[in-house]
Amino acid sequence: LWECLCWWGLIVCVLCVSGIELCPPGHRFMITMVASFIEMAGQFLMPGLAALCRDWQVLQAIIICPFLLMLFYWVIFPESLRWLMATQQFEASKELILQFTHKNRMNTESDIKGVVPELEKEITRRPKKVCIVKVVGTRNLWKNIVVLCVNSLTGYGIHHCFAKSMMGHEAKMAITHNFYADYYTMAGIALASCLAMCPVVGFLGRRGGLLLFMILTALASLLQLGLLNLIGKYSQLPDSGMSDSVKDKFSVAFSIVGMFSSHAVGSLSVFFCAEITPTVIRGGGLGLVLASAGFGRLTAPIMELHNQKGYFLHHVIFACCTLICIICILLLPESKNQNLPENIPDGEHYTRQPLLPHKKGEQPLLLTNSELKDYSGLHDSAAVSDGISENTTANGMKSM
């Protein structure tokens, strides 16, 4: 049941993030979060649906029904006009624009004046579809995608480490331990993470929010691995006054913080990739990040093998990955309130910017491409002045 929910969430995430192409820059994250809240509502309702079905075969059939609706998705939902224009499929773009104007009862002569004639001029051009492999030859774009893939893998992978630690210590502390308690605890933490992402990303931006949640994940992981072992050693001393219950309470607290922040890291990595990847390869870049997230989830059954002897090693590896991700996040660009890149050169122009804004009157050390001034006129004026000085020298006059 939980795995079905996870894959359903991934499909919903793909559809919603693809929908950012239809939204203006200021509303992309808001629309994505609305879709995330709908997904959270489905997770909270799923146990009730399971209780009504009673039989797991009936539940499987009901879960498959929404997937059958996806077969008609290509008929109901039109192709992305942004992607058609970016790949120079102007014939299909013209048909789609005329279809929109006909359904919305728009006047083609006044509302889209000049658009259709321009498309008719470019219809003879061949479409240029770009494969995700083209990213290998870029300078900055492939680094951004790799960084987000590692972030997604780490966020979804370490999430199970925290969940396993929390559930194990809850059983020792004699807390109500059943399927519904564990399920709603994890769903509640995910809902709190989505609620926290809204103000954090709105204030700090995409890169700042991702960095903050990754720092929280790293701190929770390192404290759980290091501090709890130290507390465990002191609790064994006869005069320490500490008991194992103190260690268990700290472990549960760190696990909750880790699950909270790692869920935000995974969700933000997927959304961030959809924004900085150009339109011509957005599906491929998003697929790489989601594949990394799925690989991170696949580490969960590995931990269950060999009597959970590899659990500590997995947690140490993912804790080291969080430290690497903190450094790599600083190399990412900021996509808040910026237009989506259409082609690979546009994606290359997404350069790294400082986390903190510049003060008034402060000159930044590195200028962006839009801020660079054109000094080509100086060369022309210098050439003209050199020619004038040569002429005056040839006439017998001393040049000043």
Each residue of 360-377: pLDDT tens digit?
Answer: 555 555 555 544 444 454
CA dist 155 → 132, 149, 289 (Å):
24, 10, 11
Structure tokens at 1: 């049941």
> Superfamily assignment of 132-329 in CATH?
MFS general substrate transporter like domains (1.20.1250.20)
Q: How far apart are the first and last CA of the chain?
A: 87
What is d(CA 162, CA 246) in angstroms, rounded to the nearest whole number? 18
CA atoms of 205 and 78, how far apart (whole Å): 31
Does 150 have pLDDT greater than 90? yes
Per residue in 40-84, pLDDT (tens digit) is 888 888 888 888 887 778 877 887 777 777 777 777 777 777 777
What's the pLDDT band for 121 if we cut at 50, 70, 90? low
Cα–Cα separations (whole angstroms), residue 178 to 128, 259, 297 = 55, 19, 22
CA distance 63 to 4: 8
Q: Which residue has the higher pLDDT, 153 or 282?
A: 153
Query: For 185-198, what is the mean pLDDT?
Result: 90
Q: With beta carbons less than 8 A apart as the criterion, state whether 259 and 186 touch.
A: yes
Q: Which amino acid is at 369?
A: N
pLDDT value for 112: 58
pLDDT beyond 50 at 397: no
Regarding pTM above 0.85, the answer is no
Hey, which of 3-7, 113-117, 209-213 has the most confident mean pLDDT? 209-213
Pull the structure tokens for residue 37.
């809240």
- Specify burial of residue 348 (Cβ count, 10 A radius: 0-12, 13-18, 19+): middle
Q: How does the average pLDDT of the chain come out, rounded? A: 75
pLDDT tens-digit readout, 215-268: 999 999 888 887 766 666 656 655 555 556 666 777 788 889 999 999 999 889
Arithmetic mean of pLDDT, 4-11 = 52
